[in-house]
Amino acid sequence: MIKDDAEIFGWTDINMGKTEISDLTILIADKNSFIAKTLFSILEAFGAKRIILCDDLDDAEKKFHNVEIDCIFVDFMMDKRAGLDFIRKIRTKPSTKNDPELPIILETGVTDIDSVILARDAGVTEIISKPFSPAQVLQKLDSAINRRREFIQTDDFIGPNRRRHKENNSEWAGDNDRRGTNRETQKKAMDH
């Protein structure tokens, strides 16, 4: 069904830029089987061939330590917000198979500013709001894989910087650089 929809709506014309989606191994950690299968079908329709489904975080953590993965989609509310704890573990306890800078896309239906700040502080690369469209999934995946942010580590944070380089890589785009900026300044900037 999704594959047919991809052709009907022209989603097959959307591409990932520098990376072939068929070359990626993508882990989906979501206890909601409907969302997990929908995301699986969307990625498969775009050409992903290696997709791993996990319905609990223990299994996802085992896969992270035993299988080479290029990107992880994880649900925010999985096991009482343990989705964020899972992300923190990945960022702070490296695997012999995977880099702690691995792109992580957080799936969430909760998009209030405090939840977004919690997610960013946990070290997510991208956030995708549910419900999501196939085009949004591919756009987030493309950003996470092909437009990686500088990965930084401070006393209270490890993860991608909030800011990206502009297309010419000469300047930073956007506000809220994590290097040397305190939390109060960041929160005030986010509130305005």
More confident residue, 126 or 185: 126
Can you tell me the distance from the alpha carbon of 3 to that of 5, in angstroms, rounded to the nearest whole number? 5
pLDDT tops 50 at residue 68: yes
Please list the residues that pair with 165 across neighbouring strands.
172
Identify the residue whose tokens are 């993508």.
26
pLDDT tops 90 at residue 39: yes
> What pLDDT shows up at residue 76?
87
Q: Taking the alpha carbons of 93, 94, 98, 104 in that order, is the dihedral positive or negative?
A: positive
Give residue-wise pLDDT tens across range 9-30: 454 555 556 678 899 999 999 9
Angle at Cα 42 formed by Cα 30 and Cα 105, nearest 5°? 45
Can you tell me the distance from the alpha carbon of 72 to that of 74, in angstroms, rounded to the nearest whole number? 6
Q: How far is CA 181 from the centre of its chain?
A: 23
**Domains, the chain, with CATH or none:** 2-11+18-150 (3.40.50.2300)
pLDDT tops 50 at residue 54: yes
> What pLDDT shows up at residue 116?
84
Give residue-wise pLDDT tens across range 88-141: 888 888 788 988 888 999 998 888 888 888 888 888 889 999 999 999 999 999
Please list the residues that pair with 172 across neighbouring strands.
165
